[in-house]
Amino acid sequence: MKQLIRALLAVLIVSFVLIFIVFRLNSSQGYTSGNTLTIFNWGDYIDEELIKQFEDETGIKVIYETFDSNEAMLTKIEQGGTAYDIAVPSEYIIDKMIQEDLLLPIDHSKLPNFQYLDSRFLDLPFDHGNKYSIPYFWGTVGILYNTKILGDRELTSWNDLWDPAFKNQILLVDSAREVLGMSLNSLGYSLNDKNKDHLQEAKEKIDALTPNIKAIVGDENRLLLQNEEAAIGLVWSGTAQEIMWENENVEYVIPKEGSNLWFDNMVIPKTAKNVEAAHQFINFMLDPEVAAQNTDYVGYSTPNKEALKYMDEEVVNDERFYPDEEMTSKLEVYENLGKRMLAHYNDLFLEFKMHTK
């Protein structure tokens, strides 16, 4: 019994000492002061120097929280409980958030730096007139392949993936719209196709890809492709860029049939407490020099036209990550398909995954 009491006391004492230390740390950092801005973003998706710079310039203290998937983030914002001043969801979620009335309209008069954005990435179907969202980063979906393993074989089309030579060489991403989308694209259909026959055809086509598939993975595809665990991967351009920094044998291509164009945009949730600071922060991130620095750090493609001037020419002229007008015209943004259709996509994907086994 003595033993138990001693152990319990030890645990309690240690906990309270730790709580005290955390409290001191928090107050020395100024987190307890009144003027704060709470940001909800993907992990490691901003150059933290910029947060410091913003804090120094405005005197606003930034609280930075992170999420690992759009849907998980949406659930948290829907439920309330925490007041996030800024969140950075992807475009298909923004559509949903607008419909469910979760966002505050953005006051463009407070964003003088809005003018620097490339008009190609504004006024898109998911948010006409950018009433609720401001682009943060954008990118594409494409094929990453390893020239060391595949030799001089060049991939240009989605249909190349079905080549029997690539047995057990392909890593797919664990995401229904990307995988079905690749099949839809290869058949010449739209990424937003709602025709069930077309979808069935697309599903049967990916079933036929089964022998070539090594695994269906998540974010760890970066690790696997970098280490040449598989020769080919279906990836987002951001992931591709990061893999290319670490492994010089890989090549990224946006297939000629077209592909998906995605966005991560800044939004202000309805529950925001410091709307003024949120606008200040968005405007700050749109500053060309700031955007350039952030892009250098994150490595995804920036929608800020003016920022390109402050960046490495080699990066800016890289057509794989900053495709020309003709290529961009073939890219499609995901539309909100509606719950039923999305569920149908996911059911087909689940059936496909069961088929793989």
Partner 1 sequence: MKSKSRNFYLIPYVIWIALFVVMPILLVLYYSFFDIDGQLTFDNYKKFFTPVYLKMTFSSFWYAFLITMFTLLVAYPISYLLTKTKHKQLLLLLIILPSWINLLLKAYAFIGIFGTYGAANSFLEVIGIGTKQILFTDFSFIFVSVYIFLPFMILPIFNALDELNPSLVDASNDLGASKWITFKRVIFPLTIDGVKSGCQIVFIPALSLFMLTRLIAGNRVITLGTAIEQHFLVTQDWGMGATIAVFLIIAMVLIMILTGKRKRGIL
Partner 2 sequence: MKKLSKLSTVYLIIMFFILYAPILYLMFYSFNSGGTMYHFEGFTLDWYKELFGDSRLLIIVLNTAIIALLSAAISTILGVAGALAIYYARRRRVKNTLLSLNNVLIVSPDVIIGASFLILFTMVGIKLGFISVLLAHIAFSVPIVVIMVLPKIEEMNTSMIYAALDLGASRWDVLTKVVLPYITPGIFAGFFMALTYSLDDFAVTFFVTGNGFTTLSVEIYSLARRGVSLNINALSTLLFIFTMLLVVGYYFITKRNNKPGRMGVR
Give the binding site for partner 2 (CB under 8 A). 1, 3-4, 7-8, 11-12, 14-15, 18-19, 21-22, 25-26, 29, 31, 38, 42-45, 63-68, 72, 75-76, 79-83, 218-220, 222-223, 226-227, 238, 242, 246, 298
Distance CA 197, CA 109 (A): 47
Token pair for 86: 């800024």
Q: Is 176 a binder of partner 1 (CB under 8 A)?
A: yes
Which range binds partner 1 by CB under 8 A, 27-35, 198-206, 275-283, 348-356? 348-356
Distance CA 221, CA 262 (A): 19
Q: Which does 79 bind (CB under 5 to 8 A by kind): partner 2, partner 1, none?
A: partner 2
According to CB under 8 A, which residues from 281 to 340 bind partner 1? 339-340
> Do residues 177 and 345 lie in contact, with contact meaning Cβ atoms separated by under 8 Å?
yes
Query: Which residue among 224, 315, 316, 327 contacts partner 1 (CB under 8 A)?
Result: 224
21-31 in b/e burial notation, b at 16+ Cβ within 10 A? Answer: eeeeeeeeeee
Quick one: CA dihedral 78, 81, 85, 87, positive or negative?
A: negative
> Do residues 91 and 263 lie in contact, with contact meaning Cβ atoms separated by under 8 Å?
yes
- SS3 assignment, position 264: strand
Q: Which does 145 bind (CB under 5 to 8 A by kind): partner 1, partner 2, none?
A: none
Q: Which is nearer to partner 1, 174 or 251 (CB)?
A: 174
Cα atoms in the 13 Å half-sphere on the side-chain side of 310: 16
Binding site for partner 1 (CB under 8 A): 69, 71-72, 74-75, 168, 171, 174-176, 214-218, 220, 223-224, 227-229, 339-340, 342-343, 346, 350-351, 353-354, 356-357
Q: Which residues are annotated as a binding site?
A: 92
Return binding residues for spermidine. Answer: 92
